[in-house]
Structure 1
Amino acid sequence: MKHLLNLLAAIALLVWGTHMVRTGILRVFGANLRSTLSRSLSSRFSAFASGLGVTALVQSSTATALIVSSFVGQGLVALPAALAVMLGADVGTSLMAVVFSFDLSWLSPLLIFVGVVLFMARQSTNVGRFGRVLIGLGLMLLALRLVTASTAVLTQAPAIKSLLGSLSSDLMLEITVGALLAVVCYSSLAIVLLTATLAASGVVPAEVALGLVLGANLGSGALAVLTTLRSAVEARQVPLGNLVFKLLGVVLAAPWVGLWLQAVRPYIADTATLVVLFHLAFNVVVAIVFIGLTQWIARGVERWLPRQPRGQGGPLERPQHLDPSALATPSLAISCAAREALHQADVVETMLRGVLDVIVRNDLRLAEDLRKLDDTVDQLYSSIKYYLTKISREALGEEESRRWTDIISFTINMEHIGDTIERVLIDIEDKKIRPGRSFSEAGMAEIRELHERLLANLRLGMSVFLNGTVHDARKLLEEKARFRDLERAYSRTHLARLTDKTVPSIETSSLHIDLLSELKRINSHICSIAYPILDSAGALAPSRIRESKFDELG
């Protein structure tokens, strides 16, 4: 039982090491990888080369597929060129499998030691993030050695020996199991390396190992398709085309597995090398066969997943910023979430602008339409929050992690403002429009003044969220104090009008006081946008309560 647990732990460590390398590379080179890909798509052969190089770094053809899918979804890259990138990506991950199959056990402690030193010394810099990549590489090599040691002990057990002796090759079952493992582990590279190690240890026969390798290739294609299921049609075409390559490749290669073993085994004694070379040969042959057919495959994919005609979505059509394919590049995903948060703020601004029109024109229909917009604000908040939870926090640098938090805080404030505006509209309907009451001229002037300031502060808050400048954040926080003082002054003047027995003021007194309070609450949510920016810059006073108290005493 202990040796089985050791094997499972080694497998988990291998998958985790692969994950660390992928996220670490995306932290350091995320934006540069995208620009490299975008610049090298002029021809199918340069696209193939760029896919090979990028995937050799990232060690994940799935991550490359998601990056390229986002290009196609934005109309920046033609589908045939994107499919050529994927052919190169599959060869790139195969080359890395060959590299890791060598005896690099001596390198594992060195990589882990250097990586930990770099990471602990400079965590928030690219040097520290590169140290994280080295730790991941070292853990992968260590995991492979642990897998070998654990399987060597397990295969000596009588029960395991009899089980292995009863195994017969069922190619379809092996392909299915390999595909499922690649999807579950989110890494075909880890499964291929694990299979090679198990084959070298005698846990699985070579024939079974090659079937698992074919399945792992198929699983990596299926994984990208599953990841982009909720993306736009254009973004889903790349993973589907790549899956077609893999399906056709598996169909073509499956009958030749036995012949491969007969032809190559006399020259390659090491079973692990035999397995990873089969993996490399499979992807190289697929690339050679299909590199000239990307145009044909692209046409087939476009027939299966036809693009929707642009400009026919009606007046409500707008860009969908929460692109699932961008999740492969966390820095890009953060930008997507920020753009959607600004759209949420635009909806809130529409609601806020409409409040004054409802008050002035007593428009019940407009009030109802504006209240319905609060459902849109709530839906946008939920979508942005869910999207942000899918962004790998490990793959974010310190600044991007701070931006992640800022977006969450911003969307929460917008959601609260939308709820407050909905309450205000209900009060206006119940306490002013339906009873047929009116504000006094002086009271209406006060409401206009506060409403105008509120709109200006909301626009300033959106600018602070977008640009993050300390100067604008200070200005926004100063507006909070001004607005509070103005609200108090207008509350006093309203009480003075009640003393003078001004009839409109008496009739709308409850609504007027509540409205001033709700507008102040909205302004507080707007000004809260400034706190994270000022806190990050060290410009936020440690205790505003204490300072204000000293000011009063002075």
Structure 2
Amino acid sequence: MTGSVVLIHLAGAVALMLYATRLVKTGVERAYGDVLRHKLRATLQNPIMAVLAGTGLAIALQSSTAVTLLVGSFAGAGIVSGLAGQLAVRGAEIGSALVAKLLTYDLTLLVPLCLIIGTFLFMATESRDWRQKGRILVGVGLLILSLEMIGQASEPLRESPLMPMIINYFSGDPITAYLLAALITWLFQSSIASVLLMATMAGRGLITPELGVVLVLGVNLGSSIIAPMLTRNSEPGVRIVPVGNLLMRGMGSIVMLVLVMTFKPQIGFLGATASDQIVNAHILFNVIILIAGLPLAGLVYRASEKIVALGAKQAAEPVQVTELSALSETALSSPPQALANATREVVRVCETVEIMLKRIIELYENADEDKINALAALDDRVDERHAAIKIYLAKLIRNPLTEDQALRCQELIGACVKLEQVGDIIVRNMLVHVRKKMALNLEFTPEGWQEITAFHSAVLANARLTFNVLVSRDTETARQLVQEKDRLRDMEREASNSHFLRLRDGTLKSIETSSIHLDTLRDLKQINSLLTSIVYPVLEERGLLRGSRLRAS
């Protein structure tokens, strides 16, 4: 087998591992994301529980970076303290390392079982929850299979005369090896994938344990860079936790590299095999960073604040940019171009409405007048753009249009009207609930809040799909949205029934928040109905809609 063929097989196996990791991560987020976020918010106030919550969440999501971004967003919204967020991320690194350890065991029997059961669950039901569970099982099966493929693909490399030379070079130049591992991890966007790749190759005798330890330190540097890079344009509060992780974990890996290069410690105690030694070195490093991070958490947090504040100060005077409109008057003589311009402008309205819908639930937990006024200002922007789009399309209709062009005009006008109505519900109804909750200092029960956040997450996910259909006009997604409307109606009924049961039991918080709870569910249900109706023209055009119901296919 030629070297190029070996590399193609190895690259394919690595690609499958990255895809499988993402499959598991997205499946867990869709099936259990709301519950995990709710539990995380509730436990981050206690330092020990913050570490344990971060560990558990990283195991579930198969990604410490995902936990870092999630906790960073909580800290930026004021839901948790930045200090608690730092501790949760420390726990997440431990959880990520434990996942890598688990996947080094012989789990080959799980491959066919996971693929069979996962595929059956995904294809045999239309239930969203069961389909996501199937997705998770298929992802786990493919992940284990990819590790076997990496081992088989790398086997011919043992016979290559170049491998000893490459290994000797990197063993003699640990700094280059360290930086290369950091680069690979940043490209993979996953420390788990990088550690598993190195452990598998070490198990085949392609990497020495001593070099593997250096590579593991590089993996931790690369992993700590990912979140700060992804949040570099976010608000300062969101960036503090990722920057703190970079300071602690990134700087810790550099210190450890210097110590390893200076003292050249024996690593036989880390395990009986080379692959065990590499994975255990990864776990040990993150345990050391956790132990060191507990007393240093306050110092690291203050340093992170100063670094973020310094970057914010340098960007405090941005170049003033005039907001441009896509509604060019000169394009009105060309209906296709004018419709494209109007579509672009409607998409901008969609983006604003999505921001409003995302922020309103955050205000239920942590509201102040500045945030409330900022959200109300977004509704003013929606109203202005809505008026401009209607006037623009009214002018376009005066020109000769084909039937399809005239229908598209009506579709865009209808979408704008519904988007404005969604903005009005958020500002005139839901913001009123926020003010009442804030003024009376009310709190939902844990069960009630979980019901509201789960319902909100489903509506937000449907909103994003709706905005995609507005551009893509994809029939299958439009059908899915109409089916989701029925599911959310049932979901709202179940949540209301659960609330009434708590009222019957005399739960004080349920009694105090009853009207806010029920009105919020009703408002979210109405928002979902308005957004779903935006996709009706796509289904009507193909004869797939009868009234507001799907025709049998």
TM-score category (smaller protein) = 0.5 to 0.7
Show the counterpart of 1:23: 26
Task: Work out the CA distance in 2 between the residues paired with 1:64 and 1:220.
Answer: 12
Asked if 1:407 corresponds to 2:441, the answer is no
Deviation at 1:353, TM superposition (A): 7.6
Question: What does 1:180-329 align with in structure 2 at a 5 Å threshold?
Answer: 180-257=183-260, 262-265=265-268, 268-306=271-309
Asked if 1:349 corresponds to 2:409, the answer is no
Deviation at 1:30, TM superposition (A): 1.2
Q: Which amino acid aligns with 2:150?
A: V
Deviation at 1:72, TM superposition (A): 1.0
Change (3 A) 1:255 1:28: same
Larger radius of gyration: 1
Show the counterpart of 1:58: 61
Q: Which amino acid aligns with 2:199?
A: A
Indicate the SS of the match to 1:101: coil
Task: Work out the CA distance in 2 between the residues paired with 1:469 and 1:11.
Answer: 40
Show the counterpart of 1:467: 526
Indicate the SS of the match to 2:285: helix
Deviation at 1:531, TM superposition (A): 5.0
Task: Work out the CA distance in 2 between the residues paired with 1:111 and 1:241.
Answer: 38
Contact between 1:207 and 1:257, CA under 8 Å: does it hold in 2?
no
Change (3 A) 1:34 1:195: same
Indicate the SS of the match to 1:102: coil
Indicate the SS of the match to 2:309: coil
Change (3 A) 1:64 1:335: farther
Change (3 A) 1:353 1:137: closer
Deviation at 1:161, TM superposition (A): 4.4
Contact between 1:182 and 1:188, CA under 8 Å: does it hold in 2?
yes
Deviation at 1:468, TM superposition (A): 3.9
Deviation at 1:242, TM superposition (A): 0.6
Root-mean-square deviation over aligned CA pairs: 4.1
Deviation at 1:351, TM superposition (A): 6.5
Unaligned runs of 5+ in 1: 314-331, 356-376, 382-396, 413-462, 475-526, 544-554
Task: Work out the CA distance in 2 between the residues paired with 1:195 and 1:102.
Answer: 15
Task: Work out the CA distance in 1 between the residues paired with 2:526 and 2:19.
Answer: 36
Contact between 2:43 and 2:49, CA under 8 Å: does it hold in 1?
yes
Task: Work out the CA distance in 2 between the residues paired with 1:32 and 1:68.
Answer: 15
Indicate the SS of the match to 1:225: helix
Task: Work out the CA distance in 1 between the residues paired with 2:270 and 2:296.
Answer: 33
Contact between 2:270 and 2:276, CA under 8 Å: does it hold in 1?
no
Unaligned runs of 5+ in 2: 318-353, 362-373, 390-415, 421-456, 473-521
Asked if 1:149 corresponds to 2:152, the answer is yes
Indicate the SS of the match to 2:159: coil
Contact between 1:334 and 1:404, CA under 8 Å: does it hold in 2?
no
- Write out per-residue CA displacement over residues 198-244 of structure 1, whole angstroms, 9 at most, x where no aligned residue: 11112222222211211111111110000001110000111000111
Contact between 1:465 and 1:529, CA under 8 Å: does it hold in 2?
no
Contact between 1:51 and 1:88, CA under 8 Å: does it hold in 2?
yes
Q: Which moved more, 1:100-109 or 1:76-85?
A: 100-109
Q: Which amino acid aligns with 1:407?
A: F
Question: What does 1:2-81 align with in structure 2 at a 5 Å threshold?
Answer: 2-81=5-84
Task: Work out the CA distance in 2 between the residues paired with 1:122 and 1:334.
Answer: 33
Deviation at 1:101, TM superposition (A): 1.2
Percent of paired sites with the same residue: 27
Question: What does 1:509-524 align with in structure 2 at a 5 Å threshold?
Answer: none
Task: Work out the CA distance in 2 between the residues paired with 1:536 and 1:398.
Answer: 24
Question: What does 1:377-396 align with in structure 2 at a 5 Å threshold?
Answer: none
Change (3 A) 1:168 1:252: closer
Deviation at 1:294, TM superposition (A): 1.1
Task: Work out the CA distance in 2 between the residues paired with 1:183 and 1:473.
Answer: 38
Deviation at 1:31, TM superposition (A): 1.3
Indicate the SS of the match to 1:306: helix
Indicate the SS of the match to 2:171: coil
Asked if 1:127 corresponds to 2:135, the answer is no
Indicate the SS of the match to 1:168: helix
Change (3 A) 1:123 1:154: farther
Indicate the SS of the match to 1:51: helix
Show the counterpart of 2:429: none
Task: Work out the CA distance in 2 between the residues paired with 1:351 and 1:186.
Answer: 38
Asked if 1:539 corresponds to 2:547, the answer is yes
TM-score (structure 1 length as normaliser) = 0.61
TM-score (structure 2 length as normaliser) = 0.61
Contact between 2:54 and 2:67, CA under 8 Å: does it hold in 1?
yes
Asked if 1:93 corresponds to 2:93, the answer is no
Q: How many corresponding residue pairs? A: 384
Q: Which moved more, 1:204-213 or 1:83-92?
A: 204-213
Show the counterpart of 1:111: 114
Question: What does 1:446-457 align with in structure 2 at a 5 Å threshold?
Answer: none
Q: Which amino acid aligns with 2:547?
A: A
Change (3 A) 1:533 1:46: farther
Contact between 1:473 and 1:533, CA under 8 Å: does it hold in 2?
no
